[in-house]
Amino acid sequence: MKKITLLVAAMFFAFAANAQLVEVVEDFESGAFPAGWSSVVNTGDCDVSFGADMPTGPSFPSSAVYFDDDACGNGMDPSNVTIYSDVYDLSSSDGVVTVGYDVAFQEVAAGDTFLAEVNAGDGWETLALYDVDLAEILTESFDGTATNEDFQVRWTFDDAGEWAWHGAIDNFNLTYTNVLGVSDDAVEGFSFAPNPAQDVLNLNAQTNIERATIVNVLGQTVIDAEINATSSTLDISSLAAGTYILKVAVGDETGTYHIIKE
């Protein structure tokens, strides 16, 4: 994932038909983890805290979640503590995801680190590694692609066995666009295959399929075919890879399905 500064693409999608911008923001003002969030003490005896005032260096304007190794104390067992975000289902998203947070990190010995990672479908990968003191609260934003059902972000503070300072985050934000704000709407007796598909979609129904259209993430119709048969094929070889919506009119019903073009 690489940094971006604007959410222009996501905001544009929000105004297109059949697309819904989803924005998750967590500000840690309650003094406890939001639903779905947690921390895991991998080693040591100390866990995270909530608050604005950091043990040293710049503090936050409002409550953050942080690991305070200073408060953990001198001579304690080495601390390695991970903050886990909620798990987000991005399977209905168009694949474009932006994740961000504000971060503070102060170390004592050079070995201390604060590691941000994301699971965007291929296991944990590094978003950012904070390895030296941050002179200011840093506002981070990362742009990438993900359509996994178990999208998650985590931050791990490692004190390298020292009496160290802290790592903290606030204002977690996750932005993505659902291609449809609703789940698939199936028509009984209608089926199609394969999905994902490369070249051809095979359509089958027990009653007459009148029309089939394919809509992209911008809500634009890219294929519009009169069928008038109980079975047919749609040539999708010209479509760019990505997620689309298949709409079918079968009898007097309309079905909508997510399809993936490979």
Question: Which parts of this chain interact with Ca ion (CB under 5 A)?
Answer: 27-28, 62-63, 69, 79, 107, 110, 112, 131, 159, 170
Least distance from C-beta 56 to Ca ion, angstroms? 14
State the minimum distance, in angstroms, from the CB of residue 98 to Ca ion: 19
Q: Cβ 171 to Ca ion, closest distance in Å? A: 6
Return the H-helix or E-strand segment holding 262: none
> Cα dist. 218→82, 113, 124, 194, 211 in Å?
38, 41, 30, 23, 20
* 118: Cα within 13 Å, side-chain hemisphere: 23
Burial class of residue 45 (count of CB atoms within 10 Å of its CB; 0-12, 13-18, 19+): exposed
Nearer to Ca ion, 110 or 241 (CB): 110
174/212 with CB nearer Ca ion: 174
Q: Which is nearer to Ca ion, 154 or 166 (CB)?
A: 166
Q: How far apart are CA 171 and CA 169, in angstroms?
A: 7
Residue 117 or 170: which CB sits closer to Ca ion?
170
Smallest gap from residue 232 Cβ to Ca ion (A) = 55
Q: How far is the CB of 62 from Ca ion (least distance, A)?
A: 4
Is the CB of 53 or the CB of 122 nearer to Ca ion?
53
- Whether the CB-CB separation of 108 and 139 falls below 8 Å is answered with no
- Conformation bin of residue 160: beta by default, left when phi > 0, alpha when psi is -120 to 50: left
